Chain A
Amino acid sequence: MSKAVLVDLTKCIGCKSCQTSCKQWNDLPAIKPQFDNTLSYPAETDGYTYTTVLHRTTEKNGQETLRFAKRQCLHCLEPACASACFAKAIQKTPEGPVVYNPDLCVGCRYCMLACPFSIPKYDWESVFPQIVKCQFCFDREGTHDRIGHGMEPACVNACPTGCLKFGERDELLKEAWKRINKYSKYIKHVYGEKEAGGTSWLYIADVPFETFDFRTNVPNIPLSTYSHDYLKWSPAVFIGGGALLSALHFYTKRRNEIAKEKDKNHDINA
């Protein structure tokens, strides 16, 4: 029941239609591009950009070739950012999108540190900055909603090559493996199937994902497992610790009193 997108990097031509339509649909400000030595701009998602297309020159079968990868929030099944948020400003919706609510946000930026894919960004220039990341075009009862109206995200709608496919996650995952098994060119890896416990955006490619600096050492379990394994002790520590400290407090106090009494008696007897 959870929505997802399959990104087939072998079909991407780097046209950036997705990037442009995202900016338009979400009313994000346009920035004058300053290219580095590739044609990507910005080099990473930033405080004004939900998605960017990375251009990379790489070697394939002894020949130089161009490959492209769209970057945006992967919408984890169990997002570390949401688990890190102490005000519930980021939440995973049952529909699939991981959405941000600035009204609850304190601005602590723990989500930025927590995300294993370094996706959440900050609009630093503002007096009261917001976290900026792809919302999967989900904005229920808001002006930027598409998913809630049964439409696909703006980027998928704009893609001219069929590189992006919107649908149900389990169906798309099956399709991804079908393509990988049918054509030998693919790397035998669906990026997002297991990373960080699985993500709603899935990638397949014919070049290694390291080409685009996708992190490949992300644990295959939700990152929140680690904090949960610690936090689950908290109730016991507080209840048990409270009881123990109280008992010790009264016990040692009484013991000292008894010791003093004894001293007194001893003095009298002597």
Chain B
Amino acid sequence: MAAQKWSFKITPLRIILMLLAALAAVIAVYRLATGLSTVSNLNDNWPWGLWIGLDVLTGVALAGGGYSASLIIHILHVEKFKPLSRSAALTSLIGYLLVVAALFLEIGRWYNFWVPFVSWGYHSTLFEVFMCISLYTLVQIMEFSEILTERVLTFLHKPIVKIMPVLLILGTLLPFGHQASLGGLYLLQVGRLHPLWWTPLLPWLFLMSSFFVGPAMITIESSLSGRAFNHHIDKQILRSFIRISGYVMIAYLAIKIIDLIRLGVFGYIFEGSLESNMFLLEMIIGVIIPIIICFSPLSATKKGLITFGVFTTAGVVLNRMNVVFTGMYKALGSGYFPAWTEWAVSAGLIAGGILLYLFIVENFNILEYDKKYQTA
């Protein structure tokens, strides 16, 4: 093991990713040095834009694969899913690192980023988001160092293995706080966020969707890394894994419908407006079709599994974007469209994340570990 060299294959795709990441890095430094108005189209009507909507709200939801996998594999000890554990944890960790980076670029007075650690605005939903995300990222780094210390700083390996149960429990618990609280941020938008999305249950709906998107993301990821690294997860394992999503989705759909009726806004679904169409799209793509795939023979095929993954993920992305943009558009006006520099930073962050994933997978025991469990 010690003799193994560090490797990183260079391919044309990876060069493009590197260029994207480098461009984002340049814009990021420029933004930190000159302020927000030089690189973003944010304004007084739209104080939150693409970085919050896509990088933070959507990013955190999509990184939810980490905690749903952790709950199922490490807390409930469903052994058959163990082959999925390390790659799910890695994707989640990288996702959170990107979220933290995006948040740092987002805040206007970034040298004050540490203030909430000492000046506790505990009455704010954002405080819970901030504390949980910070702690969870730290916990994930510690969890992941179990894998890193197999190769570097090896003397730390044993103590880390010892405290793993604590880390795993914390690492499953904390996301319940911030996944829900990200929805809770929009509770204050009562009367402004369109009634198809605003509900006192918003935090719990965010929590559920972040949970069911986890297995969907893992399905996509394992199919991609399967192609790239010739590493295949058994279809049957994935199928029973997304079943868990399926059950949560059915509950989600039922709660959403009952809640719309309870609040007397069910009629908005069919009013034919931009909001209602986007809502229907979100529910059909992201919930109804995936449920059908999940509980039909379609999910026994590789294509069916990938379609499930893509549709579910697209639905959650759409849901978060609808809350941040579509649902707020009537209240805040049409005065915002992200600048190219905002897009470039978002794209570059994702590119950087993919590169990091590839590097770690090629140099640490991620997929091999999975294989070992699969053949055992």
Give the B-binding residues of A (Cβ under 8 A): 44, 46-47, 80, 83-89, 102-110, 112-114, 116, 118, 121-122, 124-130, 215, 217-219, 223-224, 226-231, 234, 237-238, 241-242, 245-246, 248-249, 252-253, 255-256
Give 30 CB contacts A-B under 8 Å: A80-B188, A84-B126, A86-B126, A86-B129, A87-B116, A88-B119, A105-B115, A106-B108, A107-B107, A107-B112, A108-B108, A109-B48, A110-B124, A122-B47, A124-B35, A124-B42, A125-B37, A217-B191, A224-B188, A226-B187, A226-B188, A226-B200, A227-B184, A230-B200, A230-B203, A238-B177, A242-B173, A245-B173, A248-B75, A252-B75
- Per-residue A-contact encoding for B36-51, CB less than 8 Å = 1, 0 else: 1100001111011000
> Are B177 and A83 within 8 A (Cβ)?
no
> Are B37 and A107 within 8 A (Cβ)?
no
> Are A122 and B108 within 8 A (Cβ)?
yes
> Are B123 and A224 within 8 A (Cβ)?
yes
Q: Which residues in B have their C-beta under 8 angstroms from that of A252?
A: 75-77
Q: Which residues in A have their C-beta under 8 angstroms from that of B37?
A: 124-125
Nearest CB to that of B43 among chain A residues? A124
Nearest CB to that of A102 among chain B residues? B109
Residue B176 is within 8 A (CB to CB) of chain A in the complex = yes
Q: A89-B119, A122-B108, A124-B42 are in contact. List 7 more A-B contacts (CB 8 A).
A: A85-B124, A104-B112, A110-B126, A122-B44, A122-B47, A226-B188, A238-B177
The secondary structure that dominates the B interface is: helix
Instruction: List 8 A-B pairs, minimum CB-CB distance, nearest first.
Output: A107-B108, A107-B109, A109-B47, A86-B127, A252-B77, A86-B121, A112-B47, A86-B126
Bound-state CA distance A108–B124 (Å) is 12
Bound-state CA distance A231–B119 (Å) is 18
- CB of A269, distance to nearest CB on chain B (Å): 23
Q: Which residues in A have their C-beta under 8 angstroms from that of B226?
A: none
Q: Which residues in A have their C-beta under 8 angstroms from that of B75?
A: 245, 248-249, 252
- Per-residue A-contact encoding for B93-128, CB less than 8 Å = 1, 0 else: 000000000000011111111011001110111111
Tell which of A215, A218, A226, A253 has the most Cβ of chain B within 10 Å.
A226
Residue B79 is within 8 A (CB to CB) of chain A in the complex = yes
- CB of B185, distance to nearest CB on chain A (Å): 7
